[in-house]
């Protein structure tokens, strides 16, 4: 399995590596549309507790490419979709991160994790709602309250605002 080193909130160049273990499931994901509603990725968080911070200013002139969901350190983080784990690793900004490739080969980025779910590794199949890690403040969140940074990247389109997928009628 190729290990992809990431710098910041960028999707990996290719999700092809994940297809080696589950080629048929990977092809099915490719043919499935991303649902318009996604499961909330943090345990016991209600839609009204989520703020839309898409595009907000961040360090070094960057724009916020995702949604931050604040919760106690150690709160379970759950996959918003079914898919295949692309990477369980670390990067400078995100700290401990998990990448999952989901429907329509969307890439789902879970960052600042305190820890990963036990035994999760690249190539694993996950269902929506499956625990993949725990909320923390690793990476550039070390001076902020613990939160999950969640991002969605579409093939050929770059980052999408996850907020409307998590908060209905927003």
Q: Which residues bind Zn ion (CB under 5 A)?
A: 68, 149
Nearer to Zn ion, 19 or 94 (CB): 94
Locate 56 and state its tokens: 């907000």
Nearer to Zn ion, 37 or 62 (CB): 62
| Least spacing, CB of residue 66 vs Zn ion, in Å | 5
| Least spacing, CB of residue 37 vs Zn ion, in Å | 21
| Least spacing, CB of residue 59 vs Zn ion, in Å | 11
Residues 19, 2: Cα–Cα separation, whole Å: 11
Contact of 86 with 17, CB cutoff 8 Å: yes
| Least spacing, CB of residue 26 vs Zn ion, in Å | 28
Nearer to Zn ion, 68 or 130 (CB): 68
Measured at CB, which residue is nearest to Zn ion?
A: 149
Nearest to 45 by CA among 120, 147, 136, 152: 147
Token match 């919760």: residue? 71
| Least spacing, CB of residue 67 vs Zn ion, in Å | 7
Nearer to Zn ion, 85 or 97 (CB): 97
Nearer to Zn ion, 36 or 59 (CB): 59
Sign of the alpha-carbon dihedral angle for 98, 164, 34, 15: negative
């Amino acid at each position: 399995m190729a290990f992809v080193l990431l710098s910041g909130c960028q999707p990996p160049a290719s999700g092809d590596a994940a297809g080696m273990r589950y080629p048929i499931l990977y092809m099915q994901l490719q043919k499935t549309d991303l649902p318009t509603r996604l499961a909330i990725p943090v345990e016991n968080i209600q839609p009204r507790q989520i703020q839309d911070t898409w595009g907000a200013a961040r360090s070094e002139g960057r724009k916020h490419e995702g949604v931050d969901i604040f919760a106690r350190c150690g709160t379970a983080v759950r996959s918003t979709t079914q898919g295949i784990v692309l990477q369980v690793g670390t990067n400078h900004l995100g700290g401990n991160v998990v990448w999952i490739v989901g429907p329509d080969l969307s890439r789902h980025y879970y960052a600042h994790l305190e820890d990963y779910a036990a035994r999760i590794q690249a190539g694993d199949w996950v269902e929506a709602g499956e625990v993949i890690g725990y909320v923390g403040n690793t990476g550039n969140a070390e001076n902020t309250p613990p939160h999950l940074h969640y991002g969605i990247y579409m093939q050929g389109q770059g980052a999408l605002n996850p907020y409307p997928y998590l908060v209905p009628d927003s």
